[in-house]
């Protein structure tokens, strides 16, 4: 086989069923091999072409997030590879497994500033979980196969493989097996995989849990990556322990259940944040106490006498918040072991007073907004969509206010239904991620929730939706500007809307969608049309685009400002607060 054919055959052997990518000179041999493979195998591995390479990276990420499998992006050298930098870093920040294969100039030309050459190893090495440059063609097969192993195992992440054009054109033997020698990685991985909770550790956990009256599970995206949602639910149900999730953990526990507190953190529900303040035993599972949740670590879970932490990555233990008990290993296995041990010890706690307290928090500090406003409220749009999706649709978002409204007002009954750029906060993520998700979950309704500012980035992918006939539903909540930036400018910069007001911009999003072939494209600007229009939008059989003109002053609340605790949370005009809001000095160096 040629090197290009070897790459394609390894992809097929790894179970890849879709590739996202944009062609170019340095990757042409592999694109030709993909074409020939699909001709021979009846499009077993279709190639989806985006508007640009960043779209390809986010499509691969959306596919991986929605399926749990490794997504694949295939791009050319130079600008093709550098356009993947943001998606690769985004995947690294959110622990998403993708393999990005980049063409490169011929081996002899590397370092000569050849046409469309970029120092991919140097650039991506700082952004990816692992970076592999193939200079020995006899190791190409093992390299590509190892890239998949590294991407999917341990704490998942993106792996970049840089393949010079002469390596793609080289001919040699395809062995059908073999991996690179990465002994250090495999030793660390084996230690984690073989790590088991022993009875002594379980006994220590139980001894402290027996003393607790108000335990709370704080679940993060690691629960979803580890496929540990079932174990988490079984553990919570067995002992009736309430659950709150991070932005990345939404869906790991059914948000419609009574024990669910939905999301905590900077824009979490007020009742989840207050419950976190009130709990006396915090069980952190697959979460990392990041700054959007534990903004002031010393004041986070301030009443907790005991904090337990289960994670796959040892680097996260005691990195931000000191804990009293921890376990590094498979979180699903650990939760199952704890549950069986506690049941064997006949642990049958009575948390009825705590449940009543939680119920009162949820009633008193419920999410709310101005329901009598004549202007369309974004919260009402999400609520109406949620009535139709019932927590079972795949929801993808950009970044900004619309992202937080979607997180707050949508329900998620299972994992991998919520796709958003968490740690990187990348505008432009949403539509290409939705495209990738639709290829992963053809059985699901996929809805892209966007803002007028965020959709401008990667707007070209509207055509990709219609080119491939994908029944994706796109919602643009238009408040004529960078809404989240304006909210911060309003609160902390005396209303100086520097570069964030787009009320004079001329973009007609409906015409843009129609130009890209959307058969259903409408604008909603009257409250009385809200329910009817959304019902039509969701029911339409095919790609649909809805622009909603929303109240430009609608804010995201609750909001925990930078450098303050949950007790100082701003709840806005429609959600009660435990204490009157205080004037808080904000260190602007900590903003965003």
Active site residues: 53, 115-116, 165, 484
DSSP assignment, residue 582? P
Q: How far is CA 408 from the centre of its chain?
A: 15
42 Ramachandran zone, left/alpha/beta (phi>0; psi -120 to 50): left
Q: Which residue has the tokens 């500012």?
A: 453
Quick one: 232 exposed, middle or buried, by C-beta within 10 A (0-12, 13-18, 19+)? buried
Please tell me whether residue 415 adopts helix, strand or coil conformation: coil
How far apart CA 435 and CA 418 sit, in angstroms, is 14
Structure tokens at 456: 């401008």
Query: Using an 8 Å Cβ cutoff, are 30 and 101 in contact?
Result: yes
How far apart CA 193 and CA 328 sit, in angstroms, is 9
Q: Which residue has the tokens 């990041």?
A: 290
Kindly provide the b/e burial profile for residues 90-100, where b requires at least 16 CB atoms within 10 angstroms of the residue's own CB.
bbbbbbbbbbb
Q: Which residue has the tokens 């925990």?
A: 560
How far apart CA 270 and CA 273 sit, in angstroms, is 5
330: CB partners within 8 A, 6+ apart:
192, 193, 195, 226, 228, 312
Q: How far is CA 438 from the centre of its chain?
A: 15
Q: Which residue has the tokens 């009660």?
A: 576
Q: Where are the beta strands (DSSP E) in 87-138?
A: 98-104, 130-133
User: At CA 350, angle to CA 347 and CA 352, rounded to 5?
Assistant: 155
- Kindly list the distances between the CA atom of residue 390 and the CA atoms of 261, 398, 449, in Å, as whole numbers in the listed order: 17, 21, 16
Through-space distance between the first and last CA atoms of the chain, rounded to whole angstroms: 50
How far apart CA 128 and CA 112 sit, in angstroms, is 25
Integer-rounded Cα Rg, in Å, for the chain is 25
Query: Using an 8 Å Cβ cutoff, are 73 and 45 in contact?
Result: no
Given CA atoms 8, 13, 18, 21 in this order, what sign does their dihedral have?
negative
Structure tokens at 380: 């009402």
Q: Which helix (H) or strand (E) holds 7?
A: helix 3-13
DSSP assignment, residue 570? B
DSSP assignment, residue 138? G
């Amino acid at each position: 086989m040629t090197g290009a054919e070897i790459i394609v055959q390894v992809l097929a052997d790894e179970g890849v069923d879709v590739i996202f990518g944009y062609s170019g000179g340095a990757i042409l041999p592999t694109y030709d091999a993909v074409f020939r493979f699909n001709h021979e195998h009846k499009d077993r591995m279709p190639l989806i072409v985006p508007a640009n390479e960043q779209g390809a990276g986010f499509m691969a990420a959306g596919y991986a997030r929605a399926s749990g499998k490794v997504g694949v992006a295939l791009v050319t050298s130079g600008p093709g590879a550098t356009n993947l930098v943001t998606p690769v870093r985004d995947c690294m920040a959110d622990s998403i497994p993708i393999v990005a294969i980049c063409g490169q100039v011929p081996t002899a030309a590397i370092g000569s500033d050849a046409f469309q050459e970029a120092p991919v190893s140097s650039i991506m090495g700082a952004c990816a979980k692992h970076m592999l440059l193939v200079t020995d063609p006899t190791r190409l097969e093992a390299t590509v196969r190892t890239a998949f192993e590294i991407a999917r195992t341990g704490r998942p992440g993106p792996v970049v493989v840089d393949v010079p054009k002469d390596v793609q054109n080289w001919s040699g033997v395809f062995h059908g097996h073999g991996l690179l020698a990465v002994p250090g990685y495999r030793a660390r991985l084996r230690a984690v995989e073989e790590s088991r909770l022993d009875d002594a550790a379980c006994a220590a956990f139980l001894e402290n849990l027996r003393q607790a009256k108000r335990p709370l599970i704080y679940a993060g995206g690691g629960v979803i990556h580890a496929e540990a949602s079932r174990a988490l639910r079984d553990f919570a149900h067995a002992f009736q322990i309430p659950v709150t999730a991070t932005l990345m953990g939404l869906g790991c526990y059914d948000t419609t259940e009574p024990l669910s507190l939905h999301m905590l953190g900077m824009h979490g529900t007020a009742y989840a944040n207050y419950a976190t303040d009130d709990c006396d035993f915090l069980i952190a599972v697959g979460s990392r106490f990041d700054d959007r949740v534990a903004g002031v670590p010393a004041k986070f879970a301030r009443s907790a006498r005991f904090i337990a932490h289960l994670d796959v990555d040892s680097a996260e233990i005691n990195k931000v918040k000191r804990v009293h008990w921890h376990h590094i290993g498979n979180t699903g296995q650990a939760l199952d072991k704890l549950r069986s041990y506690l049941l064997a010890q006949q642990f049958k706690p009575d948390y009825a007073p705590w449940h009543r307290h939680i119920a009162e928090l949820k009633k008193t500090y419920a999410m709310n907004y101005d329901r009598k406003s004549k202007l369309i409220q974004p919260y009402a749009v999400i609520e109406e969509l949620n009535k139709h999706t019932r927590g079972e649709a795949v929801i993808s978002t950009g970044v900004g206010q619309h992202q937080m409204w979607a997180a707050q007002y949508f329900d998620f009954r299972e994992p991998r239904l919520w796709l958003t750029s968490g740690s990187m906060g990348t505008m432009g993520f949403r539509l290409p991620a939705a495209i990738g998700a639709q290829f992963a979950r053809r059985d699901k309704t996929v809805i892209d929730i966007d803002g007028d500012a965020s959709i401008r980035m990667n707007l070209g992918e509207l055509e990709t939706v219609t080119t491939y006939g994908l029944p994706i539903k796109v919602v643009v909540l238009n408040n004529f500007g960078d809404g989240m930036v304006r909210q911060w400018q309003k609160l902390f910069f005396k209303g100086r809307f520097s570069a964030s007001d787009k009320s004079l911009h001329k973009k007609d999003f409906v015409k843009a969608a129609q130009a890209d072939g959307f058969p259903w494209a409408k604008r909603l600007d009257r409250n009385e049309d809200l329910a009817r229009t959304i019902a039509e939008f969701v029911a339409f059989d095919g790609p649909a685009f809805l622009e909603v003109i929303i109240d430009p002053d609608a804010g995201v609340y609750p909001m925990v400002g930078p450098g303050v605790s949950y007790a100082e949370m701003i709840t806005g005009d429609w959600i009660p607060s435990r204490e009157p809001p205080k004037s808080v000095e904000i260190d602007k160096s900590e903003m965003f």
